[in-house]
Amino acid sequence: MAGSRTSATEVIGRGHPWLSLAPALGVIAVLFGGGLVLGLAGSFGMGRGGWTFEPWLAVLSEGRVWRALGLSLWIAFASTALACGLGLGAALLLRRRFPGQGLARLLFQINLTIPHAVGALGILWLLSQSGFLARLAGGAGLIDGPAGFPALTQDRHAIGIIAHYVWKEVPFIGLILLANMQSIGDDPEAAARSLGASPFAAMRLVLLPLLRPALIRAGAIVFAFSFGAWEVPVLLGQSAPPALPVLAWQRFTDPDLAARPEAMAIAMLIALVSALLIRAAFAGRS
Amino acid sequence: MKRMMAGLGGALILAGGLAHAQEGDALLDMSWDEIVETARGGEVNVFMWGGADNINAYVSDYIGGQLEDDYDITLNRVPLTDTAEAVNIVLGEVEAGAAEGAVDMIWINGENFRTMKQGDLAWCGYVDKLPNADLVNFDNPAIANDFGTPVEGCEVPWSRVQFAFANDTARTPEPPRSIPELIDWAEANPGRFTYPAPPDFTGAAFVRHVFTHVAGGADALIGPFDQAKFDEVAEETWEILNDLEPHLWREGRTYPTSITQLQQMFANQEVDLFFTYDPAEVGTAVANGIFPETMQSYGLSDGTLANTNYMVIPVNAANKAAALVTQNLLLSGEAQLEKAQPEVWGAATVIEPDRASKEVQAGFAALERHPSVVSIEELGQAALPELTPDWTSKIEDGWIENVGN
């Protein structure tokens, strides 16, 4: 059978690489690039009668926007750092061979399939002041009422939001690192060990530097998502300051048409800050 | 180049505008029977807030079923979390010159309607084509004005609502019954009251109650926006609300972000007062077991805000004939009576029952409300007219800047 007909990969692989990539690149350019260009044009007042810098000036001179930016940066940095640290630790534990390893790996990655909004609601039911833990504490007589339970959702430090992102992204980071370790194999570490390195030194000086590129790539994805996503902070966030994407959404749904260009400017600000920080992370790698 | 682009865009918008104006004009020249024949076999896309299952079922099953059976029209209900999303769709389409828009009807009122009217996004001038429009008293100022914006034949009324407070009589036997009482009550019961932060619709309406109280009543705020008056009233309002903060839920450091969150917090006994712009929701929540049987809703002695909500047809709607048939059905005595049944929705009607058939009149006379829902007559004794969008948006922005930071 094989060889008698031209396989699909051969057809796709034929011709110039750019030609083969054209369908995928076309979709990205039209759907993603098109949206980005329209959003950028909208932030300069296109469709509202003439080009203007006013929406950007208004957004950049507003204290609320900067406070929202600060909160979103805190959420994204804290979530990424915790998820990377825990994900790395989990991957190092899970790569060892032990009885029940398959089950442990399955349990580890099971929440990858759960949508963020569902996870956020779960966090709400678990951690809020009238949530499951608060009810347990109340039942045990530790607190008098909901107000006695520490504020872990809709709280000033965004603990609920960060808890959700860490819960959701640790398996993602861990899975990418596990795959990466599999392709690196045991050889580099074994070589270091045979040259007299301790197990810890072999891991720190050989394995970790080899994992770094994958960790930065996975971390960048987590950062971009937790910085730019709207559904988790809208469910678990406090009222003021809102996370930057929530603020953009509020402006976008403001009945006053004049607020639309500002919404676009905030959305573009999210994309810009995210792109610059990720660029910096990749630059720092080499 | 820039000018050329702008000119091109303008021409496109103009051409699009002309195209849908023509289609609408053709309908207006038809008799009602011809409109119904044009609509037959088509579909209508209704965009509406989708947060209440009973309302969704009424529109999809009751209205959608009748459209299917009597006119062979398919009703597609598109749920929204915020009505401005649908306005955004229409705005984007009209800007792009799309004559055949995706939105045929939006459940709307207030600022969103003003936005559509200002942007020439609403189709106007068809209301007297609807046979059932005769059941509505369009001379009633509460129907002729949508949050102070004259309706002028650009939308059709659907229901009336009036703001009410609610409490659990087992937990809070003596709830506060005026804004000053409420402030004293909140201070005496620290942590047991809060309100959703504007721009949440219901939270903003609560802030308007305090604002109206400070102004000395709704009469002082009627008419066009008055900056001097606003500054004077706003300063005192923000002071009252800021002084209240230490006594609120979480010492006012944060507020719930939606009325749904406040409803859950009330159900979970985190707070002791609830309020809603649609008291029928209290009955629904009791029936669903979210609120206890001992729930009651009530108005304030100094009055609560009331408004009418409407259905609007966008200027570029692709299925205008089917939308007209749907609007006519929504206004029929039978559909309005069904909507007023407490187990269906319990929504107050916009028609004059005595203009409807004998059966419908008898049906309205026999309506029984849910014991937890305050009667519309009792509430209506102290109804405050809604402020115009200039006032409401200034109050929202002022709260965010001065209180909610």
Most distant CA atoms of chain A, gap in Å: 77
H/E stretch holding B336? helix B333-340
H/E stretch holding B187? helix B179-188
Residue with token string 């200027």: B315
What Cα–Cα distance (Å) separates residue B400 from each residue in A54, A64, A206, B160? 21, 10, 53, 28
CB contact under 8 A, B265 and A130: yes
State how far the Cα of B191 lies from the Cα of B194, in Å rounded to an integer: 8
CB contact under 8 A, B393 and A256: yes
State how far the Cα of A234 lies from the Cα of A243, in Å rounded to an integer: 8
Instruction: Give residue ranges of B with CB < 8 Å to any A CB.
Output: 2, 6, 9, 82, 84-85, 87-88, 91, 95, 110-112, 114-115, 118-119, 191, 197, 199, 249-250, 253-257, 264-265, 268-270, 389, 393, 400, 404-405
DSSP three-state, residue B45: strand
Instruction: Give residue ranges of A with CB < 8 Å to any B CB.
Output: 47, 50-51, 64, 129-130, 145-147, 151, 154-156, 234, 237-242, 250, 252-257, 260
**A148 contacts A165 by C-beta, under 8 angstroms:** no
Residue of B312, B264, B284, B278 lying closest to B120 (CA atoms): B312
**B60 contacts B77 by C-beta, under 8 angstroms:** yes
**A146 contacts B268 by C-beta, under 8 angstroms:** yes
Distance (Å) from the alpha carbon of B68 to chain A's nearest alpha carbon: 33
Q: How many CA atoms lie within 13 A of B355 on its CB side?
A: 14
Distance (Å) from the alpha carbon of A169 to chain B's nearest alpha carbon: 26
Give the single-character DSSP code of B247: G
Q: Where are the beta strands (DSSP E) in A186-262?
A: none
Two tokens, residue A163: 């808890």
Distance (Å) from the alpha carbon of A251 to chain B's nearest alpha carbon: 10
Distance (Å) from the alpha carbon of B253 to chain A's nearest alpha carbon: 8
Q: The domain A36-285 belongs to what CATH superfamily?
A: MetI-like (1.10.3720.10)
Closest CB from A145, A156, A255 relative to B253: A156
For residue B362, count other CB atoms closer than 10 A to its CB.
Answer: 11
Closest CB from B254, B264, B270 relative to A240: B254
Distance (Å) from the alpha carbon of B311 to chain A's nearest alpha carbon: 17
Measured between beta carbons, which residues in chain A are less than 8 angstroms from residue B6?
A: 50
Size of interface A-B (CB pairs under 8 A): 74
| pLDDT tens, chain B, 405 aa long | 344 444 444 444 444 444 444 467 789 999 999 999 999 999 999 999 988 889 999 999 999 999 999 999 999 999 998 898 999 999 989 988 888 899 999 999 888 999 999 889 999 999 999 999 999 999 888 888 898 888 999 999 999 989 999 999 999 999 999 999 999 999 999 999 999 999 898 999 999 999 999 999 888 887 788 999 999 999 999 999 999 999 999 999 999 999 989 999 999 999 999 999 988 889 889 988 999 999 999 999 989 999 899 999 999 999 999 999 999 999 999 999 999 998 898 888 999 989 999 999 999 988 888 889 888 778 877 888 888 888 998 999 999 999 987
Two tokens, residue B133: 């429009």
Residue A285 has a pLDDT of 60
Report residue A126: phi and psi, to 5°. -85, -50
Residue of B326, B346, B332, B258 lying closest to B107 (CA atoms): B326
Distance (Å) from the alpha carbon of A140 to chain B's nearest alpha carbon: 18
Residue A286 has a pLDDT of 54
Closest CB from A130, A155, A257 relative to B268: A130
What Cα–Cα distance (Å) separates residue B323 from each residue in B115, B119, B126, B130, B314? 21, 21, 11, 11, 10
User: Nearest-CA residue of chain A relative to B13?
Assistant: A47
* CATH number of residue B349's parent domain: 3.40.190.10
Question: Could you state, in chain order, the average pLDDT of each consecutive group of 10 residues for chain A (286 residues)?
Answer: 51 72 89 90 80 92 95 97 96 87 87 92 92 91 87 92 96 94 89 89 90 94 95 93 94 83 95 93 75
Residue B21 has a pLDDT of 47
Most distant CA atoms of chain B, gap in Å: 71
Residue with token string 């459940």: B107
Residue A14 has a pLDDT of 64
Alpha helices in chain A (DSSP H): 8-13, 17-27, 34-43, 54-60, 63-94, 101-109, 116-127, 132-139, 159-184, 187-194, 199-202, 208-228, 231-236, 244-252, 259-285
State how far the Cα of A122 lies from the Cα of B38, in Å rounded to an integer: 49
User: Nearest-CA residue of chain A relative to B108?
Assistant: A255
Measured between beta carbons, which residues in chain B are less than 8 angstroms from residue A66?
A: none
Residue B16 has a pLDDT of 43
CB contact under 8 A, A234 and B257: yes
The answer on B217 and B116 residing in a single domain is no
Give the single-character DSSP code of B354: G
State how far the Cα of B181 lies from the Cα of B299, in Å rounded to an integer: 13
The answer on B256 and B190 residing in a single domain is yes
CB contact under 8 A, B253 and A145: no
Measured between beta carbons, which residues in chain B are less than 8 angstroms from residue A260?
A: 88
Range of the domain at B249: 162-306+381-402
Looking at residue A103, its amino acid is L
Residue B191 has a pLDDT of 93
For residue A48, count other CB atoms closer than 10 A to its CB.
Answer: 16
Pairing of strands B164-168, B295-298: antiparallel
The answer on B177 and B144 residing in a single domain is no
Q: A142: which residues sit within 8 A by CB, 6+ positions away?
A: A148
Two tokens, residue A234: 């809208």
Number of domains composing chain B: 2
The answer on B388 and B265 residing in a single domain is yes
By the 10 Å C-beta count (0-12 exposed, 13-18 middle, 19+ buried), B292 is classed as middle
Measured between beta carbons, which residues in chain B are less than 8 angstroms from residue A245?
A: none
The answer on B214 and B328 residing in a single domain is no
**Count of positions (residues) in chain A:** 286
- Residue B144 inside a domain? The answer is yes
Closest CB from B112, B257, B269 relative to A146: B269
User: Nearest-CA residue of chain B relative to A155?
Assistant: B254
By the 10 Å C-beta count (0-12 exposed, 13-18 middle, 19+ buried), A86 is classed as middle
CB contact under 8 A, A155 and B268: no
For residue A184, count other CB atoms closer than 10 A to its CB.
Answer: 15
The answer on B98 and B47 residing in a single domain is yes
Closest CB from A47, A252, A257 relative to B115: A257
Pairing of strands B74-80, B274-276: unpaired
Measured between beta carbons, which residues in chain B are less than 8 angstroms from residue A240?
A: 197, 254-255, 400, 404-405
The answer on B342 and B254 residing in a single domain is no
Give the single-character DSSP code of B75: E
The answer on B150 and B175 residing in a single domain is no
Q: Is the ipTM of this complex over 0.90?
A: no
For residue B56, count other CB atoms closer than 10 A to its CB.
Answer: 15
CB contact under 8 A, A253 and B404: no
**B16 contacts B99 by C-beta, under 8 angstroms:** yes
The answer on B201 and B113 residing in a single domain is no
